[in-house]
Amino acid sequence: MAKAGETVLGDSGRLSRKLAFVLRADVVVSTRLVRHDETVARERFPDSFSRVSQVVDQYGGIAHEVPGDALIADLSRASDAVCTALTSRDNNSTNCHLSPVLDRLR
């Protein structure tokens, strides 16, 4: 089975493409967090990325970390991308280890 965005040979031997949906997740106010306390921010980013990656996996996608403070996910359906985004947002707002740092920056 082809992964999202992968070019494959169809039954006729011709190239075919599979539609892919890309989701980009970013740590909100990461620049301010890093300026405030880089060590704490860098220690806590992986927790958020891990939670998002688990949700991406749950919806059949593949997560790719981007250097810095972002994550990109390949998903097969638009509905999976939307569900992944909403679930990740909800998970990170209730389990956010960055909350104490964010509260000090407000």
DSSP string covering 40-74: HHHHHHHHHHHHHHHHHHHTT-EEEEETTTEEEEE
- Rounded CA gap, 36 and 104, in Å? 9
With 0.85 as the threshold, say if the pTM is over it: no
Q: Could you give the 3-state DSSP secondary structure of residue 4?
A: coil
| Structural domains of the chain in order of their starting residue, each with its CATH number | 20-92 (3.30.70.1230)
pLDDT confidence of residue 55:
92
Residue 98 has pLDDT above 90, yes or no: no
Q: What is the mean pLDDT of residues 67-96?
A: 82
* Whole-angstrom distance, CA of residue 59 vs CA of residue 74: 10
Query: Residue 61's pLDDT is what?
Result: 94
Split at pLDDT 50, 70, 90, the class of 34 is: confident
Q: Compare 88 and 12 and report the one with higher pLDDT.
A: 88
Mean pLDDT of 42-65: 87
